[in-house]
Amino acid sequence: MSFVISIVTAVLFIVNILLAISIIFLERRSAQSIWAWVLVLFFIPIFGFLIYMAFGRTIYNQNIFKIDEKDKVGLEYLVEEQLKDIKDKQFSFVNPLANKYKKLIHMLLYNNHSFLTNNNSITTYTNMNEKFEAMLEDIRNAKDHIHFQYYIFRMDGIGKKLYNAMLEKQKEGVSVKILYDDMGSRALSLRQFKEIKSYGGNVEAFFPSLFNLINPRMNNRNHRKIVVIDGEIGYIGGSNVGDEYIGHSEKFGEWRDTHLRIKGNAVKSLQLRFMLDWNSHSKRHNLVYNEQYFPTIYNEGDTYMQIASSGPDEVWQQIKYGYLKMIYRAQHSIYIQSPYFIPDQSVMEALRVAILSGVKVHLMIPNMPDHPFVYWGTFSRAGSLVNMGAEVHIYEKGFLHQKVVIIDDEVVSIGTTNIDNRSFLLNFEVNAFIYSKKEAEKQRHIYEEDVKSSSLLTTEKYEARGKWVKVKEGVANLIAPIL
């Protein structure tokens, strides 16, 4: 027996060494992430290996999002045309802010194929009851198709309302496609969609578990929230589908989130993103480029915007780069609202440079954790910025969950991406980058309204935290690269 144990121990030790070598030399990781995983592997050799297999593997070299070349022609041409026109200084920037931020626009075009759109109008929802009421109304008015994608989709009160509304439209002949993340929506199963599928609706789970027990991609989740109706109306933002997101949670109470309803050409970008995500997991019902999905959009508004996405399948951290470009471009003010604020060194340094340059940095974080280590990592980094002169508010009225970055009352990014490594490196995310003084000022006024429900984190308050809080911060900082 002791001989067998010795053999198993030796094998695990060798596997640990080989795994550590692969992490160090073969995988695209930051030095902090490498050290974090090496520590996990060597301090808890057996469980560390299992933790790595579940949470640590990368997929950046896998082409999981596919669309036929013939279906890409129109959109690829649009991106190439915009890149060339910007480079040759021939792009017509009617909006002066778009011209001012053309380097950011170029970067998102080049790295992310996020074509610039105008002719957009935006409705902002900070009350998720109002968001879902509008969404239900749009679903009931759908005439051709409903494309519905969420990280978390619960079949509770609001979830059943949305499902039943889509079921009725499917019965009427409107095509319904539902994509949910298998881990985020782990209480769901495809069997619960039996009725809508019987009428011709299609439902898929993103990175589904094996035998309903093991998920080989537990750490790489589709965190996107996208709804497209008839190719004319799109939704993007922070909230998922569930009763807690409309304030029906004993733990979190009132839920504070930000979600956008978009009409205009930016819906084409949301449609394309949904098509790519859908085709990555659809077995028999792939979507192809068709005029019904990309109808001609007439005058809707004058807002310029780009829809950018990122994920572990990509070489570049597109949305993080967008945040960095915004921060370094700031001249006067930076406003950030994020439930998880554990930026890597590059983002922290950008914020420090901004503060030292005289830019007013405002940060708002929640007052309670839904993930303990993440919260204490957030608190630690917020405290370090307070000590440099940033203004940090802790939201006290329920749980703060929106992901909003505003620069100089000119450009704003809203979407699903938190300020942490999970969003930057591990999850599949999507954000709207909006070039509009009106929209940026609107979001800044919303921030200022939230301040009324917040407490100010001062240097004195932060330094007065207890020893146990410091211990939790220390542990969180140690494992921050893999949170």
Contact between 151 and 225 under an 8 Å Cβ cutoff? The reply is yes
Among 225, 259, 325, 472, which one carries the catalytic annotation? 225
The active-site residue, picked from 223, 268, 320, 362, is 223
pLDDT at 72: 47
> Crossing angle, helix 467-479 and helix 372-386, to 10 degrees?
100
pLDDT along the chain (483 residues), means of 10: 65 63 55 61 60 58 52 57 68 78 89 83 97 98 98 96 98 97 91 96 88 65 96 97 91 92 95 92 81 88 93 88 97 96 94 98 88 75 93 94 97 97 91 97 98 95 78 66 55
Q: Could you give the C-alpha distances from 7 to 3, 19, 36, 94, 367, in angstroms and in order?
A: 6, 18, 27, 71, 49
Is residue 113 part of the annotated active site? The answer reads no
Q: What length is written for the chain?
A: 483
Residue 358: phi, psi to the nearest 5? Answer: 95, 5
CB atoms within 10 A of CB 314: 16
pLDDT of residue 284: 75
Judge whether 87 counts as a catalytic residue: no
User: Which of 99, 434, 121 lies closest to 298, judged by CA?
Assistant: 121
Please, are residues 443 and 406 in contact by the beta-carbon 8 Å criterion? yes
pLDDT of amino acid 156: 94
Identify the pLDDT of residue 73.
42
Instruction: Give the E-state strand segments of 145-207 in sequence order.
Output: 145-150, 175-181, 202-206
Neighbours of 1 (CB within 10 A): 5
The string of DSSP codes covering 419-430 is EEHIIIIISBEE
Residue 253, pLDDT score: 83
169 belongs to the catalytic site: no
Sign of the Cα pseudo-torsion (91, 97, 100, 102, in order): negative
Catalytic residue among 71, 138, 230, 420: 230
Catalytic residue among 401, 409, 450, 472: 401
**pLDDT score recorded for residue 466:** 74
Cα dihedral 388/321/116/177 (nearest 10):
-110
Reduced DSSP (H G I as helix, E B as strand, rest coil) percent helix, strand, coil of the chain, to 5: 45, 20, 35
Q: Distance (Å, rounded) from C-alpha 433 to C-alpha 306?
A: 5
Tell me the β-bridge partners of 391. Answer: 362
Phi, psi (degrees; rounded to nearest 5) at 13: -65, -45
The one catalytic residue in 257, 403, 409, 420 is 403
The angle, 0 to 180 degrees and rounded to 10, between the axes of the packed helices 31-43 and 467-479 is: 100
> In the annotation, is 160 catalytic?
no
Say which residue the tokens 């050409």 belong to. 265
Distance in angstroms (rounded) separating the CA atoms of residues 55 and 312: 12
User: What pTM does this model have?
Assistant: 0.86
CA 167/CA 144 separation, integer angstroms: 14
**Distance from C-alpha of 380 to C-alpha of 284, rounded to nearest angstrom:** 48
**Residue 53: predicted pLDDT:** 57
C-beta neighbour count of 392 within 10 angstroms? 24
Distance CA 161, CA 101 (A): 41
Buried-state track 219-228, b at ≥16 Cβ within 10 A, e below 16: bbbbbbbbbb
